[in-house]
A and B are shown apart, each in its own frame.
Chain A
């Protein structure tokens, strides 16, 4: 089955850019998602990219997809302390909520 891997921790200074990386083993995912989870809360969809796209930009967020290397990244520009959270990448097909999640990357933003 699909396996999705993320590094567990990332620490940045406020105002810097953050880059969160994700690798996946199965190319059959039609969509790749980034979700954000704040402490003790559910998941909030940040953005997603269709598998035939290379890049998607949405305000401070940039998603890059390298299909050859099966690598997905999320760049957050001008990172703020409110961005501190756990970020999950996930792959899915045509059923919106049936997803394979990575382990999550805990982003810590220091003032």
Chain B
């Protein structure tokens, strides 16, 4: 089945640690996105990539980093510089320039700082 897979579903991080969230898609989409969801605040864009080896900052990129070495994969690293990382993280993919193109979302990773 085609889709977008995030792992792990739950992740715990100690203070000062970097952690990496995985996102893989087999939809042959060029574009991939990372969003952060906090209660009552909707989703906010962290980073996005429209093509391999290229990515742009979203609205809340500070304390995060990404890479796009393969079309299928767009991992997100939450660094120790992110002061409030506890949140639900959602990865999405879409066709790059298609008008009205549907974005497909993964099932999310819930990150908790312990």
**B-contacting residues of A (Cβ < 8 Å)?**
1, 4, 8, 30-31, 35, 40-45, 48, 50, 88, 90, 94-99, 101-104
Return the contact of B107 from the options A1, A41, A95, A96 (Cβ within 8 A). Answer: A41
A38 CA to B50 CA, complexed, in Å: 28
**A-contacting residues of B (Cβ < 8 Å)?**
4, 6, 31-33, 35, 40-45, 48, 50, 59, 90, 92-103, 105-108, 110
Which residues from chain A contact B31 at a C-beta distance below 8 Å?
95-98
Across the interface, name the chain B residue whose C-beta is closest to A93.
B99
A97 CA to B25 CA, complexed, in Å: 14
A41 CA to B3 CA, complexed, in Å: 14
In the complex, the answer to whether B106 meets A8 with C-beta atoms within 8 Å is no
Beyond A97-B101, A99-B103, A101-B44, 8 additional contacts (C-beta under 8 Å) are: A40-B110, A94-B97, A96-B101, A97-B31, A98-B33, A99-B43, A99-B45, A103-B40
In the A-B complex, the 10 residue pairs with the closest CB atoms = A96-B101, A96-B94, A97-B103, A42-B105, A97-B94, A101-B42, A43-B105, A101-B43, A97-B33, A103-B42
Across the interface, name the chain B residue whose C-beta is closest to A6.
B42
In the complex, the answer to whether A42 meets B108 with C-beta atoms within 8 Å is yes
Which residues from chain B contact A102 at a C-beta distance below 8 Å?
42
Which residues from chain A contact B102 at a C-beta distance below 8 Å?
45, 48, 96
- Count of A-B contacts judged by CB separation below 8 Å: 79
Given A95-B31, A102-B42, A45-B103 contact (CB < 8 Å): yes
Given A41-B108, A42-B108, A96-B42 contact (CB < 8 Å): no
In the complex, the answer to whether B100 meets A31 with C-beta atoms within 8 Å is yes
Return the contact of B99 from the options A4, A31, A42 (Cβ within 8 A). Answer: A31
A30 CA to B106 CA, complexed, in Å: 24
In the complex, the answer to whether B90 meets A42 with C-beta atoms within 8 Å is yes
Given A42-B105, A43-B90, A88-B97 contact (CB < 8 Å): no
In the complex, the answer to whether A40 meets B108 with C-beta atoms within 8 Å is yes
Shortest Cβ gap from A40 to chain B (Å): 7
Return the contact of B100 from the options A42, A50, A90, A98 (Cβ within 8 A). Answer: A50
